[in-house]
Chains A and B, each alone.
Chain A
Amino acid sequence: MMIPALLLIAFVILASAGVAMVLRNLIHSALLLVLSWTGIAAFYLWAGAEFVAFAQILVYAGGISMVVLFAVLLTRPARDAELAVPPPTVLRIAAGLMASAMVGSITVMAVLTTHFEAAGARAPGLTVKDLGALLAGPHAAALLLVGVILTVALLGAIIIAAPEPAPRPEDQP
């Protein structure tokens, strides 16, 4: 019962991510990646981490996808015909495929040859209350730091992306 559901979720995640990365149209890629991220949220639900699943949906399917779509629309090439990404060279594709195949074979062999302890049948229970106590207790400093990082990063993003102000006439010498 659990394994077929996992296989279905894995198929959705991998197929949508793989197809998204091959497509030439960036908007289609972004929309397919939303499907992939939602599949990852389904995996978290399957594993019993409900809070993380909803955080994934909120942040990725809700937030990051919107930012990506805005970036795609704001950075269209001047001519509409160039919306398609120019194809990379064969050498780059071959080198990239070979590098990732090597990394993939190493990780797959490591997974297949390692002996893992037999897992518990039940998911470790972790309610939202427990999670809140953990975040406000032992991990409170890390939570504050993440808040600071998010604030600084988003302010920096606004400053980077904001257009340079036109020079005012009274600033001219």
Chain B
Amino acid sequence: MSALQLCLLLSSGLFCIGLTVALTRSNSILVLLGVELMLNAANLNFIAFWRYGGGSASAGVVFVLFSIAVAAAEAAIGLALVIAVYRHQKNIRLQEAVRLKG
């Protein structure tokens, strides 16, 4: 098994952990962290293909930098929303945030 395949297996494992958490847990902070893990798994793929993809393109590294910046913005917005929901409901369970439905 080549190193590229190992990297891809690592990232798919990380993606699966994040997906499981986002689907099963009911705490909104943990769901947000699961989404962050999935984003990180995608970044791992970019770096793995940049390193072992054979080409000399450097777009992978640049894209990961932008992806990290957008992930930081997403985390800030998500946690601000969690705090806003907590102020109204005094807890952060997703099942009780149904009033956010349109």
Contacts and interface: CB of A to CB of B under 8 A. Distances in A.
B55 to A, nearest CB: 8
B59 to A, nearest CB: 9
A134 B14 contact: no
A77 B92 CA distance: 8
Contact of B64 (A7, A52, A92): A52
Interface of A: 2-3, 6-7, 10, 13-14, 17-18, 20-21, 26, 29-30, 33, 36-37, 40, 43-44, 47-49, 51-52, 55-56, 59-60, 63-64, 67-68, 70-72, 74-75, 77-78, 82, 85-86, 88, 92-93, 95-97, 99-101, 103-104, 107-108, 111-112, 116-120, 123-124, 126, 130-131, 134-135, 139, 142-143, 146, 149-150, 153-154, 156-158, 160-161, 163
Interface residues on B, range: 35 or more
Nearest to B13: A14
A163 B48 CA distance: 43
A32 B26 CA distance: 19
A130 B29 contact: no
Given A33-B33, A146-B70, A119 B3 contact: yes
Nearest to A106: B12
Given A26-B29, A26-B30, 4 more contacts: A6-B10, A17-B37, A43-B10, A55-B65
A54 to B, nearest CB: 11
Contacts of A97: 20, 24
Nearest to A63: B72
Interface of B: 2-10, 12-21, 23-27, 29-30, 33-34, 36-37, 40, 43-44, 47-48, 50-54, 56, 58, 61-62, 64-66, 68-77, 79-84, 86-87, 90-93
A82 B83 CA distance: 17
Contacts of A139: 62
29 contacts: A13-B14, A36-B37, A47-B50, A52-B47, A52-B68, A59-B72, A67-B79, A92-B24, A92-B26, A96-B19, A103-B19, A104-B15, A104-B16, A111-B12, A116-B52, A119-B3, A119-B52, A120-B52, A123-B51, A126-B58, A126-B61, A130-B58, A134-B62, A146-B66, A149-B69, A150-B73, A154-B76, A157-B79, A161-B83
